Amino acid sequence: MMLEVKNLDVFYGNIRALHGISFEVNKGEIVTLIGSNGAGKTTTLRSISALNRIHGGEIVFDGKPITNLEAHRIVRLGISHVPEGRKIIGNLTVLENLMMGAFIRSDKAGIQESLEDVFTRFPRLKERAKQLGGTLSGGEQQMLAIGRGLMAKPELLLLDEPSMGLSPILVEEIFDIISRINKLGTTILLVEQNAFMALQVAHRGYVLETGRIVLSGPSAKLRADDQVRAAYLGEIA
């Protein structure tokens, strides 16, 4: 098991965002957390990468507890977080943004290799390498954010709403890329509101509702579930 989250509790002030949720991600999988706004999806990801304080529970990565580490240490263990809203550094060029992704690495040749890799995967980024990050379109920024995440050469990639604000064609493209990244050996934990797309690329999924996991299982099973279809896939049960 690559990632194990046990009884995770998170509060924002008096409001309980997560009610002791537990789930796991196995090596080589794409696992998705789906749920509506405010269900606690982003909070869960932010807890794993230590951007949030955790009030209870445990997070284990590769057999080691990482619950009390700082965010900048988590990256070094091989967990790369592509945050919600992309968080591109607008005043740095595309190339510099990507190089920021390799901040924790010092193997020059390896970094160069990863860079070539990102450029073949996202040719658009290569074209715009010298442009400022802030001048990219929404879709390009999402590609840049994913590319930056890959530059750390992670074992586990945390993706937070990669489809947010993108046109349907771009959403297809992004999910296609996610699928291919996974096939090349990167494990992915994907948080999505677009349950339809998420359940197509993911192997397994968990359904979050107001801070609790209410359903889990293989994607195909979730896709066939009446409740899921009614609540997240826009179908009438």
Partner 1 sequence: MDKNKQVILALVGVVVLYIILKALIMTGVLGPYWQIILNYALIYVIGGLGLSIIYGFTGQFSLGHAAFVGIGAYSAGLFAITFSHYGAWGSLGSLVVGIVCAGVVGYLIGVPILRLKSDYLGIATLGFNFIVYDGLQNSDKLFPAMGGAQGMTGVPQFQTFEWYFVAAVLVVILARNFVFSTHGRACTAIRENETAANVVGVSPARTKIMAFTIGCALAGLAGALYCHNYPYLNPDSFSFLESINYLIVVVLGGLGSLAGTVITAVGWAFLLELLRLVLGPFYAFRGVIYALILIVVIIVRSQGIFGGMEAPFLVPQIGRRKPRAIVGS
Binding site for partner 1 (CB under 8 A): 49, 51, 70-72, 75-76, 80-83, 87-96, 99-101, 103-104, 129-130, 132, 134, 148-149, 151-152
Could you tell me the smallest distance in angstroms from the CB atom of residue 223 to partner 1? Answer: 31
Nearer to partner 1, 67 or 93 (CB): 93
User: In what side-by-side order are the strands of the sheet with 56-61?
Assistant: 15-25, 3-12, 56-61, 64-65
Residue (152 or 207) nearer to partner 1, CB? 152
**Residue 194 tokens, joined:** 């677009």
What is the closest distance, in whole angstroms, from the C-beta atom of residue 116 to partner 1 in the complex? 16
Q: Which long-range contacts (CB under 8 A, 24 or more apart) does 66-74 make?
A: 74/48, 74/49, 74/50
Give the count of alpha carbons within 13 A of 70, CB side only. 2
Angle formed at CA 181 by CA 66 and CA 61, multiple of 5 degrees: 10
Of 89 and 215, which has the nearer Cβ to partner 1? 89
- Minimal distance, residue 224 CB to partner 1, in Å: 35
| Residue keyed to tokens 């715009």 | 128
Q: Which of 154, 6, 24 is nearest to 78 (CA)?
A: 154
> Which three-class secondary structure state does DSSP give residue 24?
strand
Both tokens assigned to 86 = 């992309």
Q: Which is nearer to partner 1, 99 or 215 (CB)?
A: 99
75 φ, ψ to 5°?
A: -60, -40
Smaller CB distance to partner 1: residue 82 or 231? 82
Closest distance between partner 1 and the C-beta of residue 236, in Å? 39
CB 237, CB 227: distance < 8 Å: yes
The minimum distance between CB 56 and partner 1, in angstroms, equals 23
What is the nearest approach in angstroms of partner 1 to the Cβ of residue 168?
27
β-bridge pairing 3-12 and 56-61: antiparallel
Nearer to partner 1, 42 or 187 (CB): 42
